[in-house]
Structure 1
């Protein structure tokens, strides 16, 4: 920090994203919506992608445009390889500075009854789509010598979980993919990292939060004593997308209220 730079200006220079374009998958709700809004507030124009994204008014469009940034909606079913490939080609033709692979899904079934179809569906959405998008967009970042890719991992990138073998497998693989890409691309100016959310108050955890016994057991394990909000995850993503994280490569950043520390 120079003598002519105020602390506020210095902080903004570290976290500001002015002049960038960020792609956020799974952007129509929950964590993805919070990420899109937060990156826009930091100065990024946002391309939001979801299987149910609409061209007209939407909650995420309203949130992004309220910050003064532009919003571009794209629709993609991440379980369909052809749609993911087409999306990747579309994005590779644009100048994408930030790619947040947040789109994901979960199927809850005991492992002894977890079908091939459920396993394949979860892995396709959570892992294969993230790899294809990272590969195609990452290639253009390497050509320019700069870029940020942030994947959404999970606590179950570190633990086994119960009744979610497909989800745990995919999120463990996301952690490995993050490290593998970081090893190859760090020297080319591309940061590849991941956030690992804990229990977040979203639609995916609604049933858990409505179950008094299960919810109490979860909260008793979390040192912070509360469920995360989507904005908690978005703040960590902003850090990893920002100049402040320019020397962070291959990190899997838990945002879990201390769950993994227990």
Structure 2
């Protein structure tokens, strides 16, 4: 029920943070991976070729919309023309007061966090429809639900991801394609290093988490593995929090 050995997956933003944890976890689960990232670090992913399971690094800029189809097709070619799982984990955040927010930065955040997710999902769904099976996992956030502080563009984009997830699920569930989103809470990643470095904000966050700890990328990976397995074949259009209980307060 939980076995995904031999599946083929595309993971974006896989060179760092939550995406890198996805790469490690899915690799250990026996999945062949095409990993897309804008950073050269994508070529330095550790523990390649374990258990005859390959990781194919692809450097690509998902903000270059003229190149997204080319990037996707390169990934698909590396995976011998089959994609069973798409994990859209690439993302951008910028913290600043809304009245100071630059429109160009806003557009970059919305473009990567929402539009690239839509484009890659469309390309993946075409192949998954042929297969009559597939899993698409998008990354929302707890700020898909609650309002972010000094992160208006990020919060708006992650709200958009949730609504996009629901809409795509409505269209594609009939083809055996499950589209779901994960809502990570406060995570121990470089994306939150400035937040953890602010003693006032860190104290506020610490007091808000019922689990009394920040989450780890591995906490999120376990949920992604479930959503990629046959155990979740009747789960679609959901937002699954991984937040130590924050949204339950």
What TM-score does the superposition give when structure 1 sets the normalisation length?
A: 0.90
Cα displacement (A) at 1:211: 2.0
**Contiguous gaps of at least 5 residues in structure 1:** 1-13
Secondary structure of 1:128 counterpart: helix
Distance 1:68 1:208 in 2: 40
**Contiguous gaps of at least 5 residues in structure 2:** none
| Aligned: 1:46 with 2:69 | no
Aligned positions of 1:74-89 closer than 5 A:
74-89=58-73
Cα displacement (A) at 1:64: 4.6
Structure 1's consecutive aligned runs of 4 or more residues displaced over 4 angstroms after TM superposition are none
Q: 1:86 to 1:194 in 2, by over 3 A?
A: same
| Aligned: 1:216 with 2:200 | no
8 Å CA contact 2:184, 2:220 repeated in 1: yes
Q: Deviations 1:222-253 (Å, cap 9, x if unpaired)? A: 00000000000111111101111011010100
Cα displacement (A) at 1:83: 2.4
8 Å CA contact 2:172, 2:178 repeated in 1: yes
| Aligned: 1:107 with 2:94 | yes
| Aligned: 1:236 with 2:220 | no
Q: 1:248 to 1:64 in 2, by over 3 A?
A: farther
Hey, what does 1:70 align to over in structure 2? 54
Secondary structure of 2:36 counterpart: strand
8 Å CA contact 1:92, 1:140 repeated in 2: no
Distance 2:229 2:182 in 1: 14
Hey, what does 1:204 align to over in structure 2? 191
Q: Deviations 1:187-240 (Å, cap 9, x if unpaired)? A: 100010010000000001112112222112101110000000000011111110
Distance 1:160 1:125 in 2: 20
| Aligned: 1:32 with 2:16 | no
Secondary structure of 1:81 counterpart: coil
Which of residues 176, 180, 185 is equivalent to 2:167? 180
Greater Rg, structure 1 or structure 2?
Answer: 1
Cα displacement (A) at 1:68: 4.3
Aligned positions of 1:137-148 closer than 5 A:
137-148=124-135
Q: 1:55 to 1:199 in 2, by over 3 A?
A: closer
Cα displacement (A) at 1:76: 1.4
